[in-house]
Amino acid sequence: MTWAPPSARDRLGILTSSRSVAIVGASNNPSRASYFVGTYLLASSDFTVWFVNPREETILGHVAYGSLADLPEAPDIVVVFRKPSDLPEVLDEALACNAKTLWLQLGIEDPDIAERASEGGLNVVMNRCIKIEHARFHGGLHLAGFNTGVISSRRSLA
């Protein structure tokens, strides 16, 4: 089996069929991407969002879990904000907890992990931001300045 990136239609299908997201590597630091994504998902989606970070007790007012095994139920999507060397461990946890999708955030790609995850029955999305993909499919790319409504590339004279 050779892993192939999911099409836009496939990514939409993953998002619309999922009910829960576990953010592995979630942070309490507002300048971290995982914090921004968590904030967005809590405010702009119907997902149940779980934060996974063994060094935190709470994140954004929600319990932070030490591992995927500690979650109250299997997450549909495991979103990963961890360094590439941590991916084998995260994949093992995702498989063990019966997650459905392994989602590697922007800048994270590993074809071997994708292959292993696919062989284990997981959907795999790599090098894509779940926040951007969700907003793209749900009309929210205007949030945080992604769609400012400005069409021209000309500078204002003001």
Domain ranges of the chain: 8-140
> Can you tell me which residue has the tokens 């997902």?
47
**What pLDDT, on the 0 to 100 scale, is given for residue 147?**
47
Closest CA to 37 of 109, 116, 135, 111: 135
Q: What is the mean pLDDT of the chain?
A: 89
> Can you tell me which residue has the tokens 């954004």?
60
**What pLDDT, on the 0 to 100 scale, is given for residue 150?**
45
The answer to whether residue 145 scores a pLDDT higher than 80 is: no
| Cβ proximity of 141 and 147 under 8 Å | yes
Closest CA to 95 of 70, 78, 111, 73: 78
CATH code for the domain defined by 8-140:
3.40.50.720
